[in-house]
């Protein structure tokens, strides 16, 4: 039998009415700035989803576009303008940035109180220290709320996080440790990765390698959260493009069975990241 599907779309939509109400009670209307550098199709798709959700909840979203060859100083200037604008309560720099840009310099220009993706050094330190005022990175917050919605208990459960990025893997591990999970952090080159994943109650995968996790990595009854998303196929050819995750969904689903649970790609973690951003924005308005 098929596993339970952990739909991020369902959770996001269930919170929509509440978010609309809460944002409507804030005056003046909160504004959000999204800074994009370059023309990556995946970045454009993510930004489109954020702007669409902003419109639904009644938030004014500013899409600030800079060309691929924009200088680091150009980006810093735009961020500083957003920092100084009192109507703008949240600032997002869409990642990844072009190779000639120092990510840390750019991200740490954001006012930590407007850093609704929780990526500044200040907020990352707050998260490491377990401070209650820490802004939890949106994907980590979204995953935690996704499991909570589906009543998946992580207290004293083994959680294996595959991926060590500052954007997803590291903050996810920190957040789940705070909720008393027994967390192991692995990566695609971990020796005996199969042992680390198959022994876990919950596997969270954020590597960016299509179908990295397959049947040999899992067992019956596990909860699988797939953060990865890759577009396969080439636009303009007969082969249609398809979004796939870091987990071989069809094969893994058969192994974890009806007692297991898994996120789809798309429609799983992606919508929860958007939800996490706007919940962080709401917190920033307080």
pLDDT digits (tens, 9 = 90+) for 210-266: 999 999 999 999 999 999 998 877 555 455 678 899 999 999 999 999 999 999 999
| 175 pLDDT above the threshold of 60 | yes
137-269 shares the fold of 27-111:
yes
Q: pTM for the full model?
A: 0.93
Q: Are strands 4-5 and 31-37 parallel, antiparallel or unpaired?
A: unpaired
Give the CA angle between residues 157, 268, 31 to the nearest 5°: 110
Confidence at residue 241, expressed as pLDDT on a 0 to 100 scale: 74
60-75 per-position pLDDT tens digit: 999 999 999 999 999 9
b or e along 65-86 (b: 16 or more beta carbons within 10 Å of the residue's beta carbon)? Answer: ebeeebebeebbebbeebbeee
Residue 98 sits at φ, ψ, to 5 deg, of -55, 155
E-assigned strand segments in the chain:
4-5, 31-37, 60-66, 88-93, 158-162, 182-186, 202-205, 223-226, 230-232, 242-244, 261-262
User: How confident is the model over 132-151, as a mean pLDDT?
Assistant: 95
| Cα–Cα distance measured from residue 78 to residue 75, given in angstroms and rounded to the nearest whole number | 5
Per-residue model confidence as pLDDT tens digits over 12-51: 999 999 999 999 999 999 999 999 999 998 899 899 999 9
What's residue 234's pLDDT?
58
**CATH topology (fold) of 27-111:** Rossmann fold (3.40.50)
Mean pLDDT of 184-210: 95
* Domain ranges across the chain: 27-111, 137-269
DSSP 260: -
More confident call, 234 vs 172: 172
137-269: CATH topology is: Rossmann fold (3.40.50)
pLDDT of 171 over the 70 cut: yes
Instruction: Let me know: does 52 contact 275? Beta carbons within 8 Å.
Output: no
With 60 as the cut, is the pLDDT of residue 89 above it?
yes
| Dihedral pair phi/psi, residue 89, rounded to 5° | -100, -15
What pLDDT, on the 0 to 100 scale, is given for residue 235?
53
Q: Give me the chain's average pLDDT, please.
A: 94
State the pLDDT at residue 167. 85
For the annotated catalytic residues, the residue numbers are 50, 94, 117
């Amino acid at each position: 039998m098929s596993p339970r599907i952990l739909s991020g779309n369902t959770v996001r939509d269930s919170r929509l009415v509440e978010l609309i109400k809460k944002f409507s009670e804030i005056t003046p209307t909160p504004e959000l700035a999204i800074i994009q550098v370059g023309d990556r199709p995946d970045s454009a798709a993510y930004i489109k989803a954020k702007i669409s959700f902003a419109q639904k909840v009644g938030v004014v979203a500013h899409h600030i576009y800079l060309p691929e060859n924009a200088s680091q100083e150009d980006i810093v200037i735009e961020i500083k303008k957003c920092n100084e604008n009192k109507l703008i309560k949240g600032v997002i720099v869409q990642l990844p940035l072009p190779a000639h840009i120092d990510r840390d310099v750019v991200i740490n220009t954001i006012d930590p109180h407007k850093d609704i993706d929780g990526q500044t050094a200040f907020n990352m330190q707050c998260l490491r220290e377990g401070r209650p005022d820490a802004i939890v990175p949106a994907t980590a917050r979204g995953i935690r709320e996704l499991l909570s919605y589906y009543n998946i208990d992580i207290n004293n459960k083994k959680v294996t996080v595959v991926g060590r990025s500052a954007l997803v893997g590291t903050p996810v591990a920190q957040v789940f440790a705070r909720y008393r999970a027994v967390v192991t952090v692995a990566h695609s080159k971990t020796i005996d990765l199969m042992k680390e994943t198959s022994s876990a109650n919950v596997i969270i995968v954020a590597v960016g390698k299509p179908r990295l996790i397959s049947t040999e990595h899992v067992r019956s009854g596990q909860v699988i959260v797939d953060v990865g998303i890759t577009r396969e196929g080439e636009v303009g050819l007969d082969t249609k493009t398809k979004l796939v995750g870091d987990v071989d969904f069809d094969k893994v689903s058969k192994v974890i069975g009806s007692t297991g649970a898994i996120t789809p790609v798309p429609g799983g973690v992606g919508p929860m990241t958007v939800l996490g951003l706007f919940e962080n924005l709401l917190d920033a308005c307080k």
